[in-house]
């Protein structure tokens, strides 16, 4: 039984806390990093996360969806913290940042990989920093004229926009979520730009000259914000097919993966795991 259960919210953050006799749990959502996508909501085992759709205000750009965590349902398992591509959640236990599902090995770490070949970077170039929609890249030069590129990889969702805009091909990014996104222009309402307004990555969704939305999925992170706000069923379809993550064998992860992708994609991953296991076992016997 909780001695104290609290919910606090400001413009910049949401905080829920549970005080027990010997443990103090806190879950903080950085609302400036959160884009209101569907990923955490889909995998929450207690259905404690709710998406609040934005209301259209005439003449204004549609705001992004927001999320709310029900402090009475939350078990502070940390799945939302582990799966968020933006690291918008921070879970603490007795003041220490800790994610139980990662500590227990029941959930994998997302693979976030950004590689920079600084030797190829011209001194006066900061195209990658300018391209990053989340201000995660800092470019500087030392007294010797050597370029240094710092990337906040922990908060990078893997959109690859920096990679696309780099004129020297000096930066490469591994996508976290892979998938398919399509627009059915026959069902897309003329002039509607709700999905364009909420998309966190510039250039992925645009309105063409015929008033219909077009998609360029090279930089899409498959977060699902666009699907949440689309006013017409089946006008926009989004499907995740793969998630880059550390090796794991866990029923909890299999359930989450199936929710985020599909039964078919879960089966493909399980097949790959079995294949790799057989190959590894064969190598050990032969070696």
Q: How many CA atoms lie within 13 A of 188 on its CB side?
A: 24
| Average confidence (pLDDT) over 262-272 | 88
| Average confidence (pLDDT) over 48-75 | 95
- Class for domain 113-174, per CATH? alpha beta
The domains spanning 4-103 and 113-174 adopt the same CATH topology: yes
Given pLDDT bands bounded at 50, 70 and 90, which one contains residue 73? Answer: very high
- Does residue 144 surpass a pLDDT of 90? no
Q: Kindly report whether the global pTM for this prediction surpasses the value 0.95.
A: no
The third-level CATH classification (topology) of the domain covering 4-103 is Alpha-Beta Plaits (3.30.70)
Looking at domain 177-243, which of 3.30.70.20, 3.40.1160.10, 3.30.9.10, 1.10.287.1060 is its CATH number? 3.30.70.20
The per-residue pLDDT of the chain, averaged, comes to: 93
Among the residue ranges 96-100, 152-156, 209-213, 238-242, the one predicted with the least confidence is 209-213
| Average confidence (pLDDT) over 54-82 | 95
Rounded to an integer, what distance in angstroms lies between the CA atom of residue 189 and that of residue 105?
A: 45
Given pLDDT bands bounded at 50, 70 and 90, which one contains residue 143? Answer: confident
Residue of 284 and 189 predicted with greater confidence: 189
Rounded to an integer, what distance in angstroms lies between the CA atom of residue 228 and that of residue 54?
A: 10
The pLDDT of residue 279: 46
Q: How many CB atoms lie within 10 A of CB 154?
A: 9
Helix 263-286, helix 251-260: angle, nearest 10: 140
Residues 168-205: tens digit of each pLDDT: 999 999 999 999 999 999 999 988 999 999 999 999 99
Rounded to an integer, what distance in angstroms lies between the CA atom of residue 236 and that of residue 227?
A: 6
Q: What Cα–Cα distance (Å) separates residue 215 from each residue in 116, 155, 202, 210? A: 28, 24, 11, 14
| Average confidence (pLDDT) over 243-262 | 95
The domain ranges of the chain are 4-103, 113-174, 177-243, 251-286
199 and 205 in contact (C-beta within 8 Å)? yes
Share of the chain above pLDDT 90, in %: 84
Rounded to an integer, what distance in angstroms lies between the CA atom of residue 160 and that of residue 105?
A: 29
- Does residue 25 surpass a pLDDT of 70? yes
Given pLDDT bands bounded at 50, 70 and 90, which one contains residue 281? Answer: low
Shortest CA distance to 200 belongs to which of 246, 156, 245, 167? 156
- DSSP 8-state code for residue 189: P
């Amino acid at each position: 039984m909780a001695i104290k259960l609290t919910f606090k919210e400001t413009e910049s953050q949401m905080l829920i806390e549970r005080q027990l006799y010997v443990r103090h749990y806190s879950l903080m959502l950085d609302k400036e990093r959160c884009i209101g996508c569907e990923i955490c909501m889909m995998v929450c085992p207690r259905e404690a996360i709710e998406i609040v759709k934005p209301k259209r205000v005439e003449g204004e750009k549609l705001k992004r969806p927001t999320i709310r965590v029900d402090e009475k349902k939350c078990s502070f398992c940390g799945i939302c913290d582990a799966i968020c591509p933006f690291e918008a959640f921070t879970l603490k236990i007795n003041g220490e940042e800790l994610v139980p599902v990662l500590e227990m090995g029941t959930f994998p770490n997302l693979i976030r990989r950004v590689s920079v070949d600084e030797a190829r970077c011209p001194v006066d170039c900061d195209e990658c920093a300018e391209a990053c929609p989340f201000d995660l890249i800092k470019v500087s030069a030392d007294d010797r004229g050597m370029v240094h590129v710092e990337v906040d990889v922990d908060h990078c969702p893997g959109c690859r926009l920096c990679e696309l805009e780099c004129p020297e091909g000096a930066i490469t990014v591994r996508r976290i979520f892979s998938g398919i996104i399509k627009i059915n222009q026959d069902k897309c309402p003329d002039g509607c730009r709700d999905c364009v307004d909420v998309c966190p990555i510039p250039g992925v969704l645009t309105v063409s000259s015929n008033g219909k939305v077009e998609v360029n999925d090279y930089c899409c992170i498959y977060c699902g914000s666009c699907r949440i706000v689309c006013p017409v069923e089946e006008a926009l379809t989004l499907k995740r097919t793969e998630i880059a993550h550390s090796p794991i064998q866990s029923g909890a992860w299999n359930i989450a993966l199936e929710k985020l992708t599909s039964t078919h994609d879960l089966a493909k991953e399980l097949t790959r795991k079995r294949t790799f296991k057989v190959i590894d076992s064969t190598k050990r016997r032969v070696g």
